[in-house]
Structures are given as C-alpha cells and as structure tokens.
Amino acid sequence: MTMTPVRMEAALSGMTHNQAAPAARPRRAWRILRPGFLFPAFLASLVLGLFGGFLSFADEVTRPYDPSSPRTEAIVAMTGGSYRVSDAVGLLGSGHGRRLLVSGVNPMVREREFARAVPAALPFLGCCIDLDHRALNTRGNAIETAKWARLHAFRSLLVVTSSYHMPRTMLELQHLLPDVQLVAYPVQTDALNPTGWWKDRASVKILGFEYAKYLLAAVGLRLDAPIDERPRPMPMRTARN
C-alpha cells in the first residue's frame, strides 16, 4: 500500500516520539537526584523527623508514674528540681527500696543540713541514705549511680527525677548499667503543664530545651568509645562515715 506524505509524516512523527520517550525519563530522574532537589528533601525529612521525635518526647515526659511498676531494690534521686528528694525519701519510707542515693548534693550540704531541709530523712540517714557530692551534671549523676549500684550489687533501681529530665537520665543510666533494671519515677513539677503543654509557652520552652539536650546526649553516647565503668569500691557518704 502506498503511504501518502501525511501518513508518512505521522508515522515518522509517532516513531520519533516513541523512540524519544525512553530517553526523557532518565533526564527527569536525573533532575530529581540533583543536589538542588535532594538538599530541600533531606532538610524537610529532617525537620519532620525532629518534630515527630519531639512530640514523642513530650508525650513520654508528661505521663504520670505507673503505680503498677515493679518494686526495686534501691532508689536513686537526682538533685536539681522541686520535690525530687522529698519524694524519694517518701518512697524509701514506704518500702519501695531498701537504700537511697541522693546524687549531686552540694558539697556544703552535709547530713545535718540535709536533715534540716528534708526532715523525713532523719530516721534513715544513719543506715539507708547515701549522699553523693561528686556529680555536677546528668552524666556525673549516672557515673556516680553506676558506682553505687555496683558497690551494693543492686539489680534494680527506682530512678527519681523531674519528668522532663527523665529521658536523658535514663539514657545515661542505661548506657552504664545495661544489666540493671531501671524503673522511672517521674516527678511532676509546677514548671511543666502535663495536660496542656502545647498551649503553655513556658512548658514548650522547657520541653524544647530538654529535647535538644537529650539529642546531644544520645549523639555523645554513640560517639563515646566503650570504657570500663567498673571502678574499685569506694565509700559513699552517710551519717556514720
């Protein structure tokens, strides 16, 4: 059959389009892989990931203590926030642990000053409460707690600190005490509104600041070289020491 010029042009045109189409797809794919596209996509993914992590962090720190949590052998309280120490002493008195470490106590505060500040601690200072004066920050709290737990061969600890401080504290402790059961006792303070934190500027600020410190701690622990954190037994400060 004789092909007219119009049909021939249409056939050639169709053939050209069909042949050129496969070559166009790689070009579009190459554009997607260009840095100008990848960087904004990476940045958007990073922002979404951080935001999602922040929401998860906020949900965790605003949960109240679960009374069905298992009992532990001992208790550790981190200084630096309202009600932490008094709540820990109350837990000791109610039998939640047989010994209490208060970590991060000011070196100027000895047993007499401690009993004056927390009267409920007086009956336990001679037997069951140890004061740590060495820790200066959360990492120090974890290091001194690890020493104390190994000194007494404790296999489970009830960790008492402010709710917003709990994730970072648990992260540091789990790094040094992977074989010890850690139970969180988050202390709710007036500084944080647990039921409507997203509507309270002060609460959002606290959570954002703590979330940033938590991320920095997580990165720091990943970069740390494995070290032996089993020091020689050393005396802890009690009323009779």
Give residue 43's pLDDT.
60
- Model pLDDT, residue 17: 47
Residue 133's domain comprises: 69-223
Distance between CA atoms of 156 and 149, rounded to whole angstroms? 9
Query: Does residue 142 belong to any structural domain of this protein?
Result: yes
At 68-80, the pLDDT tens digits run: 788 899 999 999 8
Question: 3-state SS of the chain: helix, strand, coil percent to 5?
Answer: 55, 10, 35
| Average pLDDT in the chain | 78
Residue 168 lies in a domain: yes
Q: What is the pLDDT of residue 9?
A: 47
Q: Whole-angstrom Cα distance, residue 88 to residue 85?
A: 5
> Is residue 146 in some structural domain?
yes
Residue 106 has φ and ψ, to the nearest 5°, of: -55, 130
Q: State mean pLDDT over 177-193.
A: 88
The per-residue pLDDT for 25 is: 53
187, 163 in Cβ contact below 8 A?
yes
Q: Provide CB contacts within 8 A for 157, sequence distance 6+.
A: 72, 73, 74, 75, 76, 97, 145, 149, 173, 177, 180, 181, 182, 183
What's the pLDDT at 236?
41
Reading the block at residue 214, the tokens are 């938590």
Query: How many structural domains compose the chain?
Result: 1
* CATH number for position 99: 3.40.50.620
At 60, the pLDDT band (50, 70, 90 cuts) reads: confident
| pLDDT tens readout for residues 110-119 | 999 999 999 9
* Statement: the pTM of the whole predicted model exceeds 0.75: no
- State the pLDDT at residue 240: 35
Does residue 43 lie within any of the structural domains?
no
Residues 189-216 have a mean pLDDT of 80
**Per the domain annotation, does 50 fall within a domain?**
no
- Length reported for the chain: 241
